[in-house]
């Protein structure tokens, strides 16, 4: 998949790949892998928060029902 990069990013990729002694494609691949891994971790955390919210809502619902029933 061809990527069109902004001029500043293109310059940075060129400069950093030269400094690291790797091809530009490899630098972009590494950067994308790191970025995608970060996004995955964020999405996993958001899913975990939703699960905890659901459990909390269920627990509060049970507690409220027990309270209304005098248990």
Pure H helices in 1-71? 7-20, 24-68
The pLDDT assigned to 67 comes to 73
User: Which pTM was predicted?
Assistant: 0.67
Contact 14, 25 (CB under 8 A): no
The pLDDT assigned to 58 comes to 81
| pLDDT per residue of the chain (71 residues) written in tens, 0 to 9 | 788 999 999 999 999 999 999 999 999 999 999 999 999 999 999 999 999 988 888 888 876 777 777 66
């Amino acid at each position: 998949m061809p990527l069109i990069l902004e001029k500043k990013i293109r310059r940075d990729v060129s400069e950093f790949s030269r400094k690291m002694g790797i091809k530009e494609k490899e630098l972009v691949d590494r950067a994308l892998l790191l970025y995608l891994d970060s996004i995955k971790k964020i999405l996993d955390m958001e899913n975990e928060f939703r699960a905890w919210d659901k459990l909390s809502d269920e627990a509060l619902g049970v507690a409220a029902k027990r309270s209304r029933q005098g248990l």
